[in-house]
Amino acid sequence: MDATFDSDKRKILSALSHGSIFLSQLLFSAGIPAALWIISDDPVVKESSKEALNFHINIWVYSFIIGILCWLLIGWLFVIPLLIFQWVMPVFAIASSFRNTDSAFRYPFILRFL
């Protein structure tokens, strides 16, 4: 038997997992999608949370690499594109969560660690 899930709850939880990046780049903001990934029974919310957590990890990795490159004086070229990517992609993900409740948004240009 196919389980049905509340689409409004799915929208809100998926958007919350993607929007958590706006809190900060610290570990606290990654705790929201991690908790939703563990607690939720909804497969779309689980996939959205996992994707948001992968996005957090990628932003940390990209920031670390760009931070090292800044010491070599070439990293400054990548700071603005990273900030744009970090702010624009979650907005697309939140909009996709509200528009399409049957599938999770997949971020482009990220490595999927989880």
DSSP collapsed to 3 states, the chain: CCCCCCHHHHHHHHHHHHHHHHCCCCHHHHHHHHHHHHHCCCHHHHHHHHHHHHHHHHHHHHHHHHHHHHHCCCCHHHHHHHHHHHHHHHHHHHHHHHHCCCCCCCCCCCCCCC
In a domain, 111, yes or no: no
In a domain, 46, yes or no: yes
In a domain, 105, yes or no: no
Tally of domains within the chain: 1
Whole-number pLDDT of residue 25? 67
Average pLDDT for 21-28: 81
pLDDT-based confidence at residue 47 (cuts at 50, 70, 90): very high
In a domain, 109, yes or no: no
In a domain, 112, yes or no: no
In a domain, 38, yes or no: yes
> Containing domain of residue 71, as a range?
7-99
In a domain, 26, yes or no: yes
Q: Can you tell me which residue has the tokens 């971020």?
A: 107
Average pLDDT for 69-74: 87
In a domain, 32, yes or no: yes
pLDDT > 70? residue 1: no
